[in-house]
Structure 1
Amino acid sequence: MNIHLSRLALLATLSAPLAYGQAAPPNIVIMLYDNLAYGELGSYGGGVIRGAETPRIDRLAEEGIRLTNFNVEAQCTPSRSALLTGRFSIRSGTYRVPRAGAPDGLTLWEQTLAELLSARGYATGIWGKWHLGSSEARFPTHQGFDEWYGVPRTYDEVMWSGSDQASDLTPAMGSKQGWNENLVPAQYIYEARKDEAPSQVKKLDLASKRTLDAELTERATAFIKRNAAAGKPFFAYIPFSLPHMPTQPNPEFAGKTGNGSWADSLAEMDHRAGQVLDALKAAGVEQNTLVILASDNGGEATYPWRGANGPWRGTYFTAMEAGLRAPFILRWPGHVPAGKVSNEIVHIVDLYTTLAHAAGAEVPKDRAVDGVDQMALFSGQQANSNREGFPAYVADRLTAVKWRNWKLHFIQQDEMYDIPQTLAFPRLYNLLTDLREEHDLMIGNTWILKPTMEVVGGFKASLEKYPPIEAGTPDPYTPASR
């Protein structure tokens, strides 16, 4: 089927009545922090013990639901892809962070959450890291967003500018050995609007990253106020840069806590969240706005920016709990009770389906969508999650599977820089009695193979029915006939 006809057919299906009985579709705000580990926020056992209290975020947690078993994918690109498509990233060819120079990103065949909401009359905007396509044809303004200000790829690249000079990030190496812009061009912060050519605003470097979150907040809050005044529902997606390495605060926050750059950055993160929340209140839309604050990954693995993952062992880029579990807070006044805490399994793919239904949109039916609607859990209508488990891929390797309180590992990799080791026999952990995944309980519990392998088998069967898109697949992409 022609890709444009396919999109028109999808849009024609998005006339369902609004879900959950609300009088008007909710505004949706997602604040996604970059590699914010499980144990950083005060509401997750961090805050003051990490050198900075987080009062605004902690108050948000008291006003809605806080999840202790919210799961993401192992890397930045896979998690962002899962959030915006409702599909495990192995399906869409976005299962690893792309390397500079290689084809990357979502095919335009994918239907992003922004596209679903735009079809329902939402204004849509993204401020921050995209990481789902570094070519202009795959920028967010070609995939459902009306406006964007941010970077196409990753913040690692800001360190290029520190590789040939004395800095607190890398040792002086000399210009011949260091980064040369003539060999590898600088990366840029972009501004783009739908149906317009994007523009390069300024270079992405150490200095511009320090002030980026302030800019993202300023632009996002202006968007909120503008659309609230116009009475137009909006989707504001704010993937902040902090605390992604190099974890350096805005100059206004440098030295604020007296506890170093990490604590100063944590204080800034709390402040930026507060600014967004204040904008919603000032615009008079606080009561009809669904707010999510979450992280895309577990904490950084590299010293001195290593994150605090609470009780969990490991790092991101692995299927250890420290790589999968991330903070998640959701507030929706009148729909989600205040002060609720749940340890039920929720996966980042579930946000796609849940938010689409909250806005009165239907998810596509011509492809595999892994996300399930979790609003009954969030609202307190039911105690249990609508999912019992999920397969955990690290890049394109099926590394583990979670089912209820159990975790079965097929590949052992504790930390990002460890070599993945295929296990001769899977290792089984009870995540209630062994938070650090140290005691293999497979002997005596081989019964667990049946339900866990049913999760794996069901997923692999769906890959047969809906073959995954290979990484680097160009547009236009059309699935093979089934």
Structure 2
Amino acid sequence: MNAKPNIVFIMADNLGWGELGCYGGGSLLGAPTPRIDALAAQGLKLQNYNVESDCVPTRSALMTGRHPIRTGCLQHAPAGLPHGLTRWEVTLPQLISAQGYATAMFGKWHLGETQGRLPTARGFDEWYGIPRTTDESAYTSTFGFDPSVVDLPYIMEGKAGSDCRNAKLYDLESRRTIDEELTRKSIDFIERQVAAERPFFLYVPLINMHYPTLAHRDFSGKSEAGDYGDCMMEMDHRVGQIVDAVDARGIADNTIVVFCSDNGPEFRAPWRGTAGPWSGTYHTAMEGSLRVPFIVRWPGRIAAGRVSNEIVHVTDIFTTLATMSGATVPTDRPIDGMDLSAFFLGAEKSGREGFCFYLKNELYAAKWRDWKLHFYWMPEVNDMKGKLESPYLFNLKRDPKEQTNVGAANAWTGGPIRKMIRQFQLSFNQFPNTPPGQPDPE
């Protein structure tokens, strides 16, 4: 058996906190999720795992351990416009690959579409998936679509050392079948590495639950919640297939399996999801945007059935998985992620007190212990109330919906929260933030 643990990291797209059975949804919402629920029972379930405002910033934070305000990965850009991680950034697969791991990614990248910024130039040995966002699958079916002025969306593939190429058109039919393809390729990769007796890092950013929610035809009509529920059941099944591949090949005890979401739920009808007890959706600073599901299993090392409300941030996953693989994180730049390996393995506290939450270039909120201080108030997407002269303060345990401002009665919290913000922002002076669209260094 390999001394180094294998890592399988599966990430859903826009899956809200309250949609899985193990987080209060599942059958209650007409779409049971037995395989993911079982995974949660076998490991650690986090109730306070926090991400960024949407796909691009969260994925950049995962890949670099750095807040997106530092890397310039602030939001999605349409095809053909400059975006993504500069090649100066050091990615998680680069660190893990340097430890002798085989690395593969099957799924959505969203961190740069030009050669040199695609996954196989950023640490992955192989990739199959989409470079940008899933809603592009609907473009070619949209009334008035003009391919002469819009780049056609493609599923791409490639291997390290050569340019990625277009594999096939990403249209609505491809949308239906892509998660099946990603799962099949993931299982094949696992089998190859087990046969080669080589440790591996497998990153599977699935397409579900991003709109348009079109399930594989094998799952059409399976739920009691329409297309959305059908996709939920398909996603659960795909996760189960990958977990089964790990278990069937006798590597479960030496494999860290993670399942999580990149963002809070979708806000657009008819695809709107739910954050359970929390308010809001992604693209806001509400708790429903920040908190998403996170489950990690490592039999014999991570206790089964454990549940924690300790604060964990997506940047922490970069540092923690790097440490678990034997890698050392960069020391020539601010790394915001904390090493939480001791916490995952049984320590009671994560050690994280809080974090700053930016939406694009603006500090919208700061979360500290059980408190959230809002500087801008936008409870729903596009329902902007503006910058607050007197910030709103909420206690998240007593007021999970963030409805009652208790700032006047708890002014003492301003001291530690603003000290945390000041310490974070002072680092911008020594290490200037990368602006969006920054070209790669020569």
Matching of residue 330 in structure 1 with residue 296 in structure 2 = yes
Tell me the equivalent position of 2:248. Answer: 282
Paired residue type of 1:149? Y
Tell me the equivalent position of 1:467. Answer: 432
SS in 1 for 2:260: strand
Tell me the equivalent position of 2:172. Answer: 206
TM-score norm. by structure 2 comes to: 0.98
Matching of residue 69 in structure 1 with residue 34 in structure 2 = no
Tell me the equivalent position of 1:457. Answer: 422
* Aligned equivalent of 1:394, options 347, 359, 378: 359
SS in 1 for 2:218: coil
Matching of residue 47 in structure 1 with residue 26 in structure 2 = yes
SS in 2 for 1:427: strand
* Residue 185 (structure 1) shift: 2.3
Moved more, 255-264 or 383-392: 255-264
* Residue 226 (structure 1) shift: 0.4
Which stretches in structure 2 are left out of the alignment for 5+ residues?
Answer: none
Matching of residue 429 in structure 1 with residue 410 in structure 2 = no
Tell me the equivalent position of 1:378. Answer: 344
Q: Is contact 2:118-2:131 (8 Å) kept?
A: yes
Paired residue type of 1:450? G
Tell me the equivalent position of 1:59. Answer: 38
Percent of paired sites with the same residue: 49
1:24 and 1:86 map into 2 onto residues whose CA distance is 25
Tell me the equivalent position of 1:108. Answer: 87
* Residue 161 (structure 1) shift: 2.0
Paired residue type of 1:417? N
* Residue 279 (structure 1) shift: 0.6
Q: Is contact 2:7-2:256 (8 Å) kept?
A: yes
Moved more, 110-119 or 419-428: 419-428
Q: How does 1:31-46 map to 2 (within 5 A)?
A: 31-46=10-25
Paired residue type of 2:272? R
Moved more, 252-261 or 384-393: 252-261
* Aligned equivalent of 2:58, options 79, 90, 93: 79
SS in 2 for 1:36: coil
Tell me the equivalent position of 1:351. Answer: 317
1:119 and 1:101 map into 2 onto residues whose CA distance is 32
SS in 2 for 1:468: coil
Q: Is contact 2:155-2:169 (8 Å) kept?
A: yes
Tell me the equivalent position of 1:406. Answer: 371
1:197 and 1:402 map into 2 onto residues whose CA distance is 42
Q: How does 1:113-128 map to 2 (within 5 A)?
A: 113-128=92-107
Q: Is contact 1:316-1:415 (8 Å) kept?
A: no
2:361 and 2:211 map into 1 onto residues whose CA distance is 24
Q: How does 1:8-407 map to 2 (within 5 A)?
A: 24-164=3-143, 178-380=144-346, 382-407=347-372
1:183 and 1:467 map into 2 onto residues whose CA distance is 36
Q: Is contact 2:365-2:376 (8 Å) kept?
A: yes
Q: Is contact 2:378-2:386 (8 Å) kept?
A: yes
Q: Is contact 1:129-1:150 (8 Å) kept?
A: yes
Paired residue type of 1:186? L
Tell me the equivalent position of 1:447. Answer: 412
Cα separation, partners in 2 of 1:114 and 1:364, compared to 1, 3 Å: same
Alpha-carbon displacement from aligned partner over 1:259-302 (angstroms, at most 9, x marks no partner): 31111111101100000001111222111000110000000000
2:109 and 2:24 map into 1 onto residues whose CA distance is 29
SS in 2 for 1:69: strand
- The CA RMSD measured in Å over matched residues stands at 1.2
SS in 2 for 1:137: coil
Which stretches in structure 1 are left out of the alignment for 5+ residues?
Answer: 1-21, 165-177, 478-482
1:396 and 1:102 map into 2 onto residues whose CA distance is 19
Moved more, 62-71 or 408-417: 408-417
Q: Is contact 1:36-1:299 (8 Å) kept?
A: yes
* Residue 128 (structure 1) shift: 0.6
Paired residue type of 1:85? T
2:200 and 2:305 map into 1 onto residues whose CA distance is 26
Q: Extract structure 1 runs of 4+ deviating beyond 6 A.
A: none
SS in 2 for 1:455: helix
* Residue 258 (structure 1) shift: 4.5
SS in 2 for 1:94: coil
TM-score norm. by structure 1 comes to: 0.90
Alpha-carbon displacement from aligned partner over 1:36-69 (angstroms, at most 9, x marks no partner): 0111100000000121211110010011000000
Paired residue type of 1:395? K
Q: Is contact 1:373-1:386 (8 Å) kept?
A: no
Q: Is contact 1:228-1:284 (8 Å) kept?
A: no
